[in-house]
Structure 1
Amino acid sequence: MPKIPVITPRRLMKILRSLGFQKDHITGSHFVFYHPQTKKRAVVPRHLKDLPKGTLMSILREVGISKEEFGSLL
């Protein structure tokens, strides 16, 4: 299995937008993205630090993409 790279929330938001997700709203310290066709949601922390690997993996599961697909989007 490929290693998950360390990325910032800002980079992850760019990737989500390229996948067709749109920023739905902001709740507290989190951005909520929504995909109009698949009806999936992704919640991304709103801070400048790198995302922990567990948080990133959870977001990838919400979105429905594998580590390999994610690696090809970088």
Structure 2
Amino acid sequence: MPMTAKEMIKLLKANGYVEVRQNGSHKIFENPQSERTTTVPYHCKDLPKGTEQAILKQAGLK
């Protein structure tokens, strides 16, 4: 089942990511410890499978 943007943001925050800025309907998160940055589109209910996988890979969670 695809994740929603809210679920993805909750997962990122649970893993130490903080929202650093927002550009339109995209929220940018950064992990201060690992200095990794990832962007979450916040304009659709379910994230497309490829987008979900890319965010997890960028965040180092996959």
Give the TM-score of the pair, scaled to structure 1. Answer: 0.78
Superposition pairs of residues 1-74 of structure 1, within 5 angstroms? 5-66=1-62
- Supply the RMSD in Å over aligned alpha carbons: 1.0
Q: Give the number of aligned pairs.
A: 62
Distance (Å, rounded) in 2 between the aligned partners of 1:26 and 1:51:
18
Question: Which range moves more in the overlay, 23-32 or 41-50?
Answer: 41-50
Give unpaired runs (5+ residues) of structure 2. Answer: none
Give unpaired runs (5+ residues) of structure 1. Answer: 67-74
Q: Secondary structure at the match of 1:51?
A: coil
Percent identity of equivalent pairs: 37
How far did 1:48 drift? 4.0
Give the TM-score of the pair, scaled to structure 2. Answer: 0.92
Structure with more strand by fraction: 2
How far did 1:29 drift? 1.4
